[in-house]
Structure 1
Amino acid sequence: MESFKPILEKIKKIKQEKGYTNEVLAQKSGIPLSTLNKILSSVIKDPKIGTLIAITDALDVDINSLIYDNLNIKDKPNPKATDNLEKLANEYNLNIDDISFITKYINLPAKDRQHFLSLLRLLTSKNIDNSPVLTKPDHKLTIEEKRKIVEYELDLEEKNQTLLASISSNGS
């Protein structure tokens, strides 16, 4: 993924500064040399967070500094939040993009977080099936039943347009 590229470049730079070969880094990190080679050559574009932690531990650098510096975040989260995020990353096998997304959300102002949650509710509300249940063929539906179906479809379309408008107005 694109967000991993700057982190990968920093890892390569630190590896070079320390004078480590791929073999040395593989040995120190406990990662198979073939896997490490694939990560460093961008064959693996989305390594697991546990793998990144092993690499950064072997290089004696804090993975958080690589991630947060990459996101240009001035106020890094407190260590407790960082520990919790790291636990979540390991538990749910999150990748760098997932962590980046969560970190950006955490660093939003409270008002923007509320707006974001409203958009998520709107986006996921259509996953709850409130559609009228068709118990008979179309030609046997009453006018009232047809009206309910049309209203439901219009409501879904309106929600989608509202969502798209909200996303495009905040799209930066």
Structure 2
Amino acid sequence: MGDYEQAFIHIYRYADLSWVKEQGEEVEYWKNLFIEWSEANICLTKLWSGDGTVIERYRTYIENHKEEQVTGLLNMMKAANKYNFNVDETLKYFEHEIEESVHELAEGRYNRKLAMDRQANLMFELAQYLLIRQDYDNGLRYLKKAVKDYKQINHEKYKMLAVAANILQHIKSTDN
């Protein structure tokens, strides 16, 4: 049994809370939270296993959970880059939020270092997605933002990406 199949078994187990006999407001709150998490994790696991049919459903989840937008978009971009999904509509939909994250750190429920790392990774994944689709101006802009973010949190990634960004900038300037 593969990792994704195993993940689905566990997700479906915690999604089925029919065995819970207790009642009350707090119990309902937690049951609903587990159901919500299971729905998001089903979408995410399907995305990571190459099933692009859940992109819209996952986009809706991200839309309804602002505190998870950077992480959700990062997950979606990783899957899009790995499986060559077209997520242009999602990027257009979240254009404002992505631009905000370029200029502001969205910490939310995560500590600053983790938030910075996720944001830098999102910028890198966006850059990769756009560069592959030959949107060099925006791809390079996101790559530069990733380099800037990595400089603060991960010196090794910073050095590698800085070299790549400089090469791409040079190629772009010689093409004009």
TM-score of the aligned structures, taking structure 1 as reference length: 0.28
Higher helix fraction (1 or 2): 2
Q: Which has the larger radius of gyration?
A: 1
Higher relative contact order, chain-length normalized (CA < 8 Å, sep 6+): 1
TM-score of the aligned structures, taking structure 2 as reference length: 0.28
